[in-house]
Amino acid sequence: ASILEKEHCPFLCVDSYYEAMTLRNKGVRSPILVIGYTEPANLKRPPLSNVSFAIIGMAHLRNIEQILLSPTAFHLKLDSGMHRQGILPEELREAIAIIKKSKNIKIQGVFSHFANADGEDETFTKKQIETWNKAIRVIRGEVPGIRYAHLAATAGSFFSKKIDANVIRLGLGLY
């Protein structure tokens, strides 16, 4: 991680609260995004410095909104077609209403995942990009201050010119 800190990445992605704590305990100072599920109770603990968290669905958003005691940075996960986690397109307006009402939910970014960006048939990936591009326009129009929009990981970087985003999450591409 110390090598990556010198590269001035916008943030490092980890899967869990535990991994973010481990990096902080090892002296890593770069911004961190916990991209996996974070138990809402962990968000009531003393905050980890410069760490943002994923909101992975409507139930998660509602729980966070009810228990959050102080302003906290989040990246909102959209389900653009992978159907593993995220706010569904038809839930987007409701999610935006909750976010706008909350004093403590600070949306720093929006993200999603490709289901099969490295597959031979690009049809589904192109459909995901279309869903993403529509949703990100709505969110940017309603929620001010979003700094990061990221859909693609390494395999999806081939499609970057078609995606309304400003960050790519590199995983295998780092190796």
Over residues 68-97, the pLDDT tens digits come to 989 999 999 999 888 889 999 999 999 999
Determine the pLDDT at residue 7: 66
Calculate helix-pair angle for 92-101, 123-142, nearest 10 degrees. 30
Task: State the average pLDDT for the chain.
Answer: 89
Supply the DSSP symbol for 144.
T
One-letter amino acid of 118: D
Cα–Cα distance for residue pair 61/78, rounded to 1 Å: 12
The pLDDT value given to residue 87? 96
Helices (H), 15-91: 17-25, 58-67
Query: CA-CA distance, 134 to 146, in Å (whole number)?
Result: 16
pLDDT, position 61 = 98
Quickly state the pLDDT bin for 124 (edges 50, 70, 90): confident
DSSP 45: S
What mean pLDDT do residues 52-65 have?
Answer: 97
pLDDT at residue 2 is higher than 70: no
SS3 127: helix
Question: For residue range 4-26, what is the model confidence (pLDDT) as tens digits?
Answer: 666 678 899 999 999 999 999 99
pTM of the model: 0.90
